[in-house]
Amino acid sequence: MKNVSLISAIALVAATAGSAQAQTLEKVISEGVLACGVSEGVPGFSNPNSEGVWEGLDVDICRAVAAAVLGDSDAVRFSPLTSSQKILAVSSGQVDMTSRTTTWTMKRDSSEGVDFTQVVFYDGQGFMVRAESGITDANQLDSATVCVTTGTTTELNLADFARAQNITIEPVVFEGKREAVAAYESGRCDALTTDASQLGAFRTSFIDPEAHTILDTLISKEPLAPLVAHGDNQWKDIVTWTIFGLISAEELGITSENVEDLAANSDNPDVQRLLGVSGDTGGFIGLEGTWMKDVIASVGNYGEIFDRNLTQTLGLERGLNAQWNDGGILYAMPIR
């Protein structure tokens, strides 16, 4: 514990010392490339594909920021970061931003020299059951056996959930995720619990994915958000508002296909503002007026990114990540 606080203290000193001159925007523009930290491999979030090109939701957020700042979604240098490096790499300036399935917590945001920008994926611990079991809600898991990995918050969350719901759940504990998944697939347990985004990936690897359902119930909050170094407010604004822009674009129905058309013909003032036809939204954060147009033309809106990376490949539902007017909690602040 002492070590951790020492490291964070050093990180904070380094970050505050760095922030005085760290004008990340200028640095990115002068280098012509955005250094973006991603994870070393999480299906659907960031992973090099067979052509050696990074793909995933987290990766597309980096590409969106690169498109907003540099007008080129390929001007990104991806650095795979391990979980222990993800905070230090951004607070010490090795990368300009980190987009790496990082849960937004108070401790990280306040005491580790980094700032979170905006949630790009609301994850949470969920359950997978066999479709034939007829279970549709986690409350129905009374006296069920559930495969779970040992020593993780996953196991504690499960116990808390059972106590809160006043049901008995019999956990079958495994050392690793793979073992837990294999045990569930072979019929050892009635249900499997881990983060909902990973349940989707595991289901894809089953012989018959259709025979398993992922329940809508989530029993923990894991808001995943990109982070930037503490202290460079302009840069934080750029990343935050690029994400809001992606979400707004979906809300307004702007896609990578119709963006040119809408920019030329739309009468909707919100669309005009977002695409830089009227007003100067880009100027507020030191970018070109057409910043969002470049972003949407190259990576699409939030819905397209989600669909491409998570729905088509892993069969993940939007769930909480749907728009606020569509049953989810995705709510972009107004861009004007």
Partner 1 sequence: MTQITSEADTKTFEPLAARGAPTRQIGPLNWLRKNLFSGWLNSLTSLVLIGVLLWVLPVMINWLFLDAVFRGNGEVCRQSAGACWPFIYEKIPVLMVGVYPQELIWRPAVAGVALLALVYLTFSDRIRGFVLISAWLALPLFALVMIGGAFGMTEVNQSLWGGLMLSILLALVGVIVSIPLGVMLALGRFYGSPLVKALCIGFIELIRGVPLITILFMVSVMMPLFLPPEMIINNLMRIQIGMIFFSAAYMAEVIRGGLQAIPKGQTEASLALGVSPNRTILFVIVPQALRHVLPPLIGRCIALFKDTSLVIIVGLLDFLGMIKGAALDPDWLGFQTEAYFFAAFVYWLICYSLSRYGRALENRGPNGAKR
Residues of this chain that bind partner 1 (CB under 8 A) = 7, 10-11, 14, 18, 21-22, 35, 40-44, 47-54, 77-82, 84-85, 88-89, 92-94, 178, 201-202, 204-207, 309, 313-314
Among candidates 48, 63, 68, 61, which has minimal Cα distance to 99? 61
Minimum distance of partner 1 from residue 162's CB (angstroms): 30
Q: Closest CB to partner 1 among 161 and 202? A: 202
Q: Tell me whether strands 191-195 and 125-130 are parallel, antiparallel or unpaired.
A: antiparallel
Q: Closest CB to partner 1 among 110 and 312? A: 312
Minimum distance of partner 1 from residue 117's CB (angstroms): 21
Q: Closest CB to partner 1 among 158 and 299? A: 299
As to burial, measured by CB atoms within 10 angstroms (0-12 exposed, 13-18 middle, 19+ buried), residue 249 is buried
Minimum distance of partner 1 from residue 35's CB (angstroms): 8
Minimum distance of partner 1 from residue 45's CB (angstroms): 10
Q: Closest CB to partner 1 among 178 and 336? A: 178
Minimum distance of partner 1 from residue 22's CB (angstroms): 7
Q: Closest CB to partner 1 among 67 and 201? A: 201
Minimum distance of partner 1 from residue 187's CB (angstroms): 17
Minimum distance of partner 1 from residue 128's CB (angstroms): 14
Q: Closest CB to partner 1 among 102 and 248? A: 102
Minimum distance of partner 1 from residue 327's CB (angstroms): 25
Q: Closest CB to partner 1 among 42 and 263? A: 42
Residue pair 149/155 in contact (Cβ under 8 Å)? The answer is yes
Q: Closest CB to partner 1 among 70 and 138? A: 70
* Cα 113 to the center of its chain, rounded Å: 20
- 3-state SS, the chain, equals CHHHHHHHHHHHHHHHHHHCCCCHHHHHHHHCCEEEEEECCECCCEEECCCCCEECHHHHHHHHHHHHHHCCCCCEEEEEECCCCHHHHHHCCCCCEECCCCECCHHHHHHCCEEECCCCEEECEEEEEEHHHCCCCHHHHCCEEEEEECCCHHHHHHHHHHHHHCCCEEEEEECCHHHHHHHHHCCCCCEEEEEHHHHHHHHHCCCCHHHEEECCCCCCCEEECCEEECCCHHHHHHHHHHHHHHHHHHHCCCCCCCHHHHHHHCCCHHHHHHCCCCCCHHHHCCCCCCHHHHHHHHHCCHHHHHHHHHHHHHCCCCHHHCEHHHCCCECCCCCC
Minimum distance of partner 1 from residue 227's CB (angstroms): 16
Q: Closest CB to partner 1 among 116 and 202? A: 202
